[in-house]
Amino acid sequence: MPYIQNTENEQREMLRAIGVESIKDLFEPLPASTRLGRDLDIPVGMDEASLRRHMIELAKKNRPLGDGPSFLGAGRTRHYVPVIVDHLAGRSEFVTAYTPYQPEASQGSLQVFFEFQTMIAQITGMEIANSSVYDGASALAEAALMALSLQKVDRIVVSKASHPEDRDTLRTYLRNLDVELVEVPLKEGRTDLDATRKALEVGASALCFQSPNFLGILEDGAALTEIAHEAKALSIVSVHPLSLGVVAPPGDYDADIVVGDGQPLGCPPYLGGPAFGIFATREKFIRRLPGRIVGQTVDGQGRQGYVLTFQTREQHIRRDKATSNICTNNALMALRGAIYLAAMGERGFAAVAESCLVQAHAAARAITQVEGCSLLYDGQPFFCELAVQLPKKAKEVNRHLAKKGIQGGYDLGRFDPALDHAMLLAVTEVTSGDDVDRLVAALREL
């Protein structure tokens, strides 16, 4: 077996050194009643060539998004991943290292995360960021927990326009902590400001909203943040990180915590994971921040270097009083995000975002020229996803598109049964003009 490197002779030598006769003797500490005593019911092993063939066969039973035009978004959007990301993030010194607890042996990872934290702070407009959490949904839950520990009001308000899976996650996390979770309704595809003000009247630790929201529409983040602050609640914003190339970042309108899913930054969609969770906030909240943080310092010789810092917040030291239970995070995916942002640079990052914005609006214009198709919330600002009203049920439309080799959009009937004649279409910089032409042609056939 190629993953075990001792010959039978060596194994015998080792057993002799230990002072036992056989491998079986090594398991003497296990009472007989705890032993399995039979073979596992798992297929026999495979050689590499057969295994590779088997895996390719399994992969072929799936239809990758890239096989044709695709308009599916709703939490995972397709973007171009520069080859430099795969090459550099695939280096085994990153892939096979552990969490950088020994700083002298991990300066590579530590500097990467210091730079990652900086770039996340730069794009969100916030003071500081941690070195990632699991995903956007759990980032939102962690942000709510952080707000609860800072503001100490057992109530969280969340916009119904936030991703349904994010809201589910938030609900699950809060369920066992005697915290009330209140959802604010929508008006014209955006969070209803009056209803928000009302929901916050009795106080809350935080107002959570997403911009662009689940329907693709950009929220009035400044107004929502102001409403939150009037009620002494923190403003927690979930972002699509690439939108920040063209859209005002939450830091510019005084948000307190910014979270999001980092998938658009150099991560393949992977059926939903892994990517990484973004978490940025104010420096004064540092002691309440969940997850790992890298700081710059010097060694005994005065040389600049990096360490994991403020570790007393974390579970391995503070145990039951830790700010979060998170240990392993999504570091390698965060590294992908860092390389992506560095490769794009200031100019490229803005250009990709601009591309998404332009392509999506161009697509909107082309699609709304089809009879029976219109924007669900015409006139509302959006980034790269558009909610489209259709002449037929979204389910039927998607079936028709599939026949034409097109991966359609997200059926909004799943979000709200009243919207079953609408779908959410994602259009990004990888959506070609030809893709949209094909979609439009197919929609005309309805």
Using CB under 8 A, which residues numbered 241 to 260 contact other proteins?
244-249, 252
Question: Residue 289 has what DSSP assignment?
Answer: -
Q: Which is nearer to other proteins, 19 or 201 (CB)?
A: 19
* 182 makes contact with other proteins (CB under 8 A): no
Report 88-127 residues binding other proteins (CB under 8 A). Answer: 88, 90-100, 102-109, 111-112, 114-115, 117-119, 121-123, 125, 127
In 10 A of CB 10, how many CB atoms? 10
What the block records as the tokens of 74 is 């709703």
Q: Which is nearer to other proteins, 61 or 201 (CB)?
A: 61
Report 363-382 residues binding other proteins (CB under 8 A). Answer: 363, 365-366, 369, 381
C-beta of residue 224 within 8 angstroms of C-beta of residue 199: no
Q: Which is nearer to other proteins, 139 or 233 (CB)?
A: 139
In 10 A of CB 220, how many CB atoms? 16
* 66 makes contact with other proteins (CB under 8 A): yes
Q: Which is nearer to other proteins, 168 or 194 (CB)?
A: 168
Side-chain half-sphere exposure of 389, counting CA atoms within 13 A: 10
In angstroms, how far is the first alpha carbon of the chain from the final one?
Answer: 57
Report 194-223 residues binding other proteins (CB under 8 A). Answer: 218, 222
The candidate with the shortest Cα–Cα distance to 324, out of 290, 288, 294, 277, is 290
Q: Which residues lie closer than 8 Å to 148 by C-beta, 6 or more apart?
A: 154, 156, 177, 179, 205, 206
Minimum CB separation of residue 75 from other proteins in Å reads 6
Q: Which is nearer to other proteins, 198 or 424 (CB)?
A: 424
According to CB under 8 A, which one of 152, 347, 417, 418 is a site residue for other proteins?
347
* 6 makes contact with other proteins (CB under 8 A): yes
Element (H, E) at 157: strand 155-159
Residue 185 main-chain phi, psi, to 5 deg: -75, 170
Report 282-341 residues binding other proteins (CB under 8 A). Answer: 283, 286-287, 292-301, 303-307, 309-312, 314-322, 324-333, 335, 339, 341
Report 403-442 residues binding other proteins (CB under 8 A). Answer: 407, 410, 429-430, 432-437, 440
The structure tokens 């509302």 sit at 380
